[in-house]
């Protein structure tokens, strides 16, 4: 009985050893095998395309020549991620190598929230406050900002962290205002254009109606929009929006309406 039990235990141990040895041998063989192509998947977050898998693969093959001649163990996944993430339309990526030796790249497209037209320059700002160039592949249906826009944007630092460039920077104000609008379930559907006037006032162009909404500054936004929504709901209940060309929220606790 003891002999049979010992034999059974020895058989199980031998089987485990064989499995481990098999795995080790398979890994050694895999690490020595050549790369078998590149597969790239991009998560566009339900947005229009600004970058394609071909764009990323072409950049990768430019930076790492003859990549198929490399073995699996020679692949520097961190370097590949750095190359992919250097694309101005990619926020992050993850790189792995399949059992068959295919380089698999999972990437995520950045999310622009506003398009800025400043003099002859056109660019996006993404949801994290970073600069994004426009793309020749496609455009994004986002809020437009234009007018007499002062200030600039550091292409490598988020507007959130660029503390030396906030106070008099219209681009920072545009980003903060856009974020504010998009965070509100009602306001995010109401406006499609931010305009900076020659005097520096911030104006909004609604999607509905032929009037503009003058915010003035970024101060007291909660109060200003509460007053605006109250006018839309109560003040315009029995009159047409088309009777007015301007709703001014600059003044505390009031909305000054200018008729045509």
Q: Among 64, 94, 109, identify where a domain stops.
A: 109
What pLDDT score does 206 carry?
92
Same domain? 143 vs 59 = no
Distance CA(219)–CA(229), nearest Å, equals 17
Q: What share of the chain is helix, strand, coil (3-state, %, to 5)?
A: 35, 25, 35
What pLDDT score does 144 carry?
97
Greatest mean pLDDT among 75-79, 134-138, 193-197, 208-212 lies in: 193-197
Q: Give per-residue pLDDT as tens, 164-209.
A: 666 678 999 999 999 999 999 999 999 999 999 999 999 999 998 8
**For all residues of the chain together, what is the average pLDDT?**
85
Residues in the chain: 260
Q: What is the CATH number of the domain that holds 125?
A: 3.40.50.11690
What pLDDT score does 196 carry?
96
| Count of domains observed in the chain | 2
Same domain? 118 vs 232 = yes
Q: Which residue has better confidence, 69 or 95? A: 95
For residue 92, the surrounding DSSP H or E stretch is: strand 90-97
Same domain? 97 vs 122 = no
What pLDDT score does 153 carry?
85
Per-residue pLDDT band at 226 (split at 50, 70, 90):
very high
Domain span at 160? 112-259
Q: What does the pLDDT average to over 133-157? A: 91
Show Cβ contacts of residue 187 under 8 Å, excluding neighbours closer than 6 positions.
180, 181, 225
pTM for this model (two decimals): 0.82
Q: What does the pLDDT average to over 57-76? A: 89
Q: What does the pLDDT average to over 95-100? A: 89
Distance CA(5)–CA(2), nearest Å, equals 5
What pLDDT score does 162 carry?
72
């Amino acid at each position: 009985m003891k002999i049979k039990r010992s034999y059974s235990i020895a058989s199980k141990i031998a089987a485990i050893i064989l499995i481990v040895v098999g795995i080790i041998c398979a890994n050694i063989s895999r690490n020595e095998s050549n790369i078998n192509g590149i597969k790239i998947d991009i998560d566009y977050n339900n947005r229009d395309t600004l970058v394609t898998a071909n764009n990323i693969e072409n950049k990768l093959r430019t930076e790492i020549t003859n990549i198929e001649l490399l073995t699996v163990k020679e692949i520097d996944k961190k370097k590949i991620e750095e190359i992919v993430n250097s694309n101005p339309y990619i926020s992050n990526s993850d790189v792995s190598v399949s059992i068959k030796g295919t380089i698999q790249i999972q990437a995520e497209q950045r999310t622009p929230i506003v398009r800025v037209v400043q003099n002859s320059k056109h660019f996006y700002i993404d949801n994290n406050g970073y600069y994004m160039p426009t793309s020749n592949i496609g455009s994004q249906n986002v809020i437009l900002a234009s007018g007499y826009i002062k200030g600039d944007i550091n292409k490598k630092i988020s507007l959130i962290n660029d503390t030396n460039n906030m106070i008099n920077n219209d681009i920072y104000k545009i980003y903060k205002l856009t974020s504010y609008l998009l965070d509100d379930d009602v306001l995010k559907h109401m406006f499609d254009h931010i305009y900076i006037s020659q005097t520096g006032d911030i104006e909004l162009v609604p999607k509905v109606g032929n009037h503009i909404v003058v915010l003035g500054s970024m101060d007291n936004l909660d109060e200003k929009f509460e007053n605006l929504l109250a006018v839309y709901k109560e003040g315009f209940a029995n009159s047409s929006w088309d009777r007015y060309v301007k709703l001014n929220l600059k003044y505390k606790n009031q909305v000054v309406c200018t008729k045509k």
